[in-house]
Structure 1
Amino acid sequence: MSNTNNSSNRTVLYTSASIALLFVAFGMFFPVQMSEVVNKVFAFLTIKFGWLYLLSVAVFIVAAFGIAVSSYGKIKLGKEDDVPEFTNFQWFAMLFGGGMGIGLVFWSIAEPIMHYLAPPIGDGGTAEAMSTAMRIVFFHWGIHAWVIFAIGGLALAYFQFRKGLPFLISSAFYPLIGDRIYGPIGKAIDILSVFATIFGVATSLGLGSSQIATGLEYIWGIRSTPGTISIIIAFMTVIFTLATVSGLHKAMQAAANLKIWLSVGFMIFIFLFGGMVYILNNFTSALGAYLQNFVGQTLWMDNIDWVNGWTVFYWAWWIAWAPFVGQFVARVSKGRTIREFIIAVTLLPVGFSFIWLAIYGGAAFNLDKLSGGAIQAAVNADYTTALFATLKQMPFYFLTAPLAIVLIVVSFIGAANSATYVLAMLTSGGDMNPSQKLRGFWGIAQGAITIMLILVGGTAALKALQTASIAAAFPFMLIMLVMCFSIYKALKEDYEEESKNV
């Protein structure tokens, strides 16, 4: 059995690595053709199957909350005598930390301004457009995103901690295919999980490095070029790879603490100097509109081009991140009931995200109005500078601007470090302590993929990475739909067995 497992692990590793290398090689030697292929795939998936992304996320919501409120919600993620490894406060803090990703820093100002200028319905630049913009931002970063992560995390936590199966996505299909999870079908599922994670992380790495580069240009005039972006990626890759390989837990904990303190500090600072009353009014209105339009917005496709460009991209991006974030929330939730897990994972990070978005977005709108459209102009010129353009309208810019770059760096390093660990786990048979060599390989691979594509294709390669992420997420979305049924089947059998023993 050991030899078989090792062979299976190598198959997933070699196949995943080969796919990544082929993609990079194709992008390096045939950049124009790669762009054409990726764009055609993107157009095909969004035009033909955009509706399926929306329906799938709706199914995830029904499945997650349906399980939570049912009798199955009492089932524990672990053995009956297992107790939570962390206190409620520690657990809540880690779930909050999981919501503070590079995406929130990148999009918290750029996205609301972009929707304000070009809303999916009505005219841009109006009070109604502003309200619509904040509702959409809440929608894209709210419950829908975290339900996707909750489904992935529930599958991993339940089948690992309660059933003793490998910490792999394929284990969630045991109720349907039994021991064939160790065969070609299971390998294919795990390979797709790796593929989705690689391009989901690479997209974030590209976006984060691009924002740092444009920030350096905006602040100090250091020109943002593909070469500059590549150097930044290489720098961050070295840091998170060394941290992953050497197990510098104290250093990573210090980085995590710095991220939290900087995040909280920026929120308080922007709240105080960005217009407190304006932000609170904006938050209250946006939250009400979000709740009022929850169901309708979930399935809204009146403006198909806009939905494909924004909502479908977001849903695909969250699906691509489901193996990574799902693994994170699963590992810290052993001993919790399913009901506790789903409610906490879907609501706590969302609450933090809404506060973050309301502060940043509300301040941006307020300061844009006071400055005569300075932030709008910056976003129109280059949306990656939105955060710096907003900070420039407040005091202490000489201090907050470089600190913002530090925040971006530590936000991404923490996520990339964890993602590297997850990739190593997925390609080592679910080993929760994968080898240093394997962790180092995936750390270098993530950075190398992004650097090579940007050096050859320039910043246009970021668009290719985004569309590749959507393409990678499509088959994994189908896997997650089947996963919902498999989880339900396992929970039903588990509950019936428990009822007989009572």
Structure 2
Amino acid sequence: MKKSQNKILDFHYPVFIPAALIILIFVSVAIILGEPLSDFFLEIRNLIYDKIGWFFVFTVNTLLVVAILLAFSKFGKIKLGGRSASPDFSNFAWYSMLFSAGMGIGLIFYGVAEPIQHFAVPPIPVNGEVDAAKQAFKFTFLHYGLHPWAVYGMIALAFAFFTFNRKLPLTVRSLFAPLLGKRINGIFGHVVDTLAVIACLFGLATTLGFGAQQVGSGLHFLFGIENSVRNQIIFISITTLLATASIVSGLDKGVKMLSELNIKIAVVFMLLMLIIGPTVFLLDSFLENIGLYVQNIIELGTYTEVYAETKWQNNWTIFYWAWWIAWSPFVGIFIARISKGRTIREFLTGVVILPTVFSFLWFTVFGSSAIHLELNHLADISGAVSKDISTALFEMLKNYPFSSILSVIAILLIISFFVTSSDSGSLVVDFITTGGKLDAPVGTRIFWALIEGLLAISLLIGGGLSTLQTTVMLAAFPFAIILLVMTFSLLKGLRRERLRNLRYKVKRNARVQTTQIERFIEDQEDE
């Protein structure tokens, strides 16, 4: 692999050049064409929804089933990094970083918006508001529960295993080593790495676009500042510079510090809402919502809307699965980078179960606070959200005490998650485009951070939400195929690793037994 020896910039040219050119061309076209581009993207999005939505459902369910089987199988004892490896980060730092990278902005943006929209317009016809509320949380929990975190967990496990146990570069091509051997360094490897970079960048741009829209709504609520595309672009520009500063500080300082700050602010924000809101109602809702989810997870997870005449699933479940899949190479590589020294069972439990429970609590606290207002006819949150989904959180907060203070905290949290997602994403793209280097020069990190911000800006100019959603769909489809092939490759690699461990144990036991026999003979001779 030919790489630059420059200490400031370091490129793996077969991946860096095509990925950078594709993104820069897309940015240029989006900025030049502007709003008319959205109609074109809308047609493509609907075509993908209708023809291959089922494939996203199949992919996500497959990854969840395999994750569960691996966690409780004989492979669960395999340690990432080998038998003597130890974790690089404390549990709190580990949880903070994987959670901040995984879903931070999504929780803030949809914490109120999704439950209240499903409550106002039930995906499946129901009898009355109570049934509508129950269904709202069943589908919300589906979208932020075990399924998306299993996508993250499986690809992160594959990255960690092939990087730390097989000593391969931290790139997507390494996931196929058991199937292709040294051929991963050829054209196939270049293509899958390039696809991963593009998927990462579009997934990041979508998330950053959502964050910009919500911050604009918050500033409008607090200070009357117009929530315009122009102001959203200003916000993206400022936070991209903040992310760049964090990147310069590195993983152990900037990213870790911001991630821990994120989770602390998020917990404080959630606890304040739990106390200020209808506390007993929220706690009751949390238990009942989890029960509903567990009872219906198979039906919900395999729901394809085949017997319905609506297009609800296209705009929600299919989009979510595409979003998580497009986001997965970024989150997977980042989680893998910070997870050395943990067993597969510990890893999958930490990546899949704990974030799921936290997400459920988050959506219950904020979503149920909004639905409580609706059920008791104290506010029309759904009416406001139907006009602008990004206003959902602030429309809910204004009906509770200390709304201004809570809104300020919400904006700070969005910014913090925004910066963390951007700098984490830049590190990950940097890993891939430098051939898997874990400590690549800072210059390339800065380049990708600026590209991420520019891409998010161009997508807002080129049509806003519909354009964001379409680009995610386009990036996710080829990567969904890659994920399925990766799963087979991982299972093959784990089987070989377990056989190696068994051989080691046999040899070690043989040495111990030999030593014991020799000592016994020596003792007998001494007597």
Same fold by TM-score, threshold 0.5 exceeded? yes
**Structure of higher CA gyration radius:** 2
In the other structure, the counterpart of 1:67 is 70
Aligned residues: 499
Q: How far did 1:246 drift? A: 4.8
Letter in 2 for 1:82: A
Aligned identity (percent) is 39
Contact 1:170 1:186 in 2 (8 A): yes
Contact 2:174 2:184 in 1 (8 A): yes
Q: CA RMSD in A?
A: 2.2
361-370 vs 114-123, greater mean Cα deviation: 361-370
Partners of 1:500 and 1:74 in 2: how far apart?
15
Runs (4+) of structure 1 exceeding 6 A deviation are 4-8
User: 1:209 and 1:122, CA in 2 relative to 1: closer, same or farther beyond 3 A?
Assistant: same
5 Å-filtered alignment, 1:33-182, equals 34-98=37-101, 101-123=104-126, 126-182=129-185
165-174 vs 446-455, greater mean Cα deviation: 446-455
In the other structure, the counterpart of 1:317 is 323
In the other structure, the counterpart of 1:383 is 389
Letter in 2 for 1:472: A
Q: How far did 1:90 drift? A: 4.6
2:27 counterpart of 1:24: yes
5 Å-filtered alignment, 1:259-270, equals 259-270=262-273
Q: 1:469 aligns with which of 449, 467, 472?
A: 472
Contact 1:116 1:124 in 2 (8 A): no
Q: How far did 1:26 drift? A: 2.0
User: 1:380 and 1:8, CA in 2 relative to 1: closer, same or farther beyond 3 A?
Assistant: closer
Partners of 2:12 and 2:286 in 1: how far apart?
48
Partners of 1:392 and 1:169 in 2: how far apart?
45
Q: How far did 1:101 drift? A: 0.6
In the other structure, the counterpart of 1:367 is 373
Contact 2:199 2:472 in 1 (8 A): yes
Partners of 2:448 and 2:254 in 1: how far apart?
20
The one-character-per-residue Cα deviations of 1:345-365 (angstroms, maximum 9, x if unpaired) are 110111111111111111111
Report the TM-score when normalising by structure 1.
0.94
Partners of 2:162 and 2:262 in 1: how far apart?
32
Partners of 2:431 and 2:89 in 1: how far apart?
22
What SS class does the counterpart of residue 471 from structure 2 fall into?
helix
Q: How far did 1:416 drift? A: 1.1
Q: How far did 1:249 drift? A: 6.0
User: 1:3 and 1:405, CA in 2 relative to 1: closer, same or farther beyond 3 A?
Assistant: closer
In the other structure, the counterpart of 2:519 is none
Contact 2:93 2:256 in 1 (8 A): no
Partners of 1:391 and 1:156 in 2: how far apart?
40
Partners of 2:119 and 2:502 in 1: how far apart?
54
Report the TM-score when normalising by structure 2.
0.90
Q: How far did 1:229 drift? A: 0.8
Q: 1:431 aligns with which of 437, 448, 458?
A: 437
2:402 counterpart of 1:399: no
Contact 2:93 2:260 in 1 (8 A): no
Unaligned runs of 5+ in 1: none
Contact 1:274 1:367 in 2 (8 A): no
Q: How far did 1:210 drift? A: 0.7
Partners of 2:400 and 2:482 in 1: how far apart?
47
User: 1:109 and 1:30, CA in 2 relative to 1: closer, same or farther beyond 3 A?
Assistant: same
Letter in 2 for 1:340: E
The one-character-per-residue Cα deviations of 1:258-297 (angstroms, maximum 9, x if unpaired) are 3223211211111112101111221122111100111111
25-34 vs 4-13, greater mean Cα deviation: 4-13
Partners of 2:257 and 2:195 in 1: how far apart?
33
Contact 2:100 2:420 in 1 (8 A): no
In the other structure, the counterpart of 1:353 is 359
User: 1:437 and 1:124, CA in 2 relative to 1: closer, same or farther beyond 3 A?
Assistant: farther
5 Å-filtered alignment, 1:246-265, equals 246-247=249-250, 250=253, 253-265=256-268
Contact 2:100 2:421 in 1 (8 A): no
In the other structure, the counterpart of 2:332 is 326
User: 1:93 and 1:258, CA in 2 relative to 1: closer, same or farther beyond 3 A?
Assistant: closer
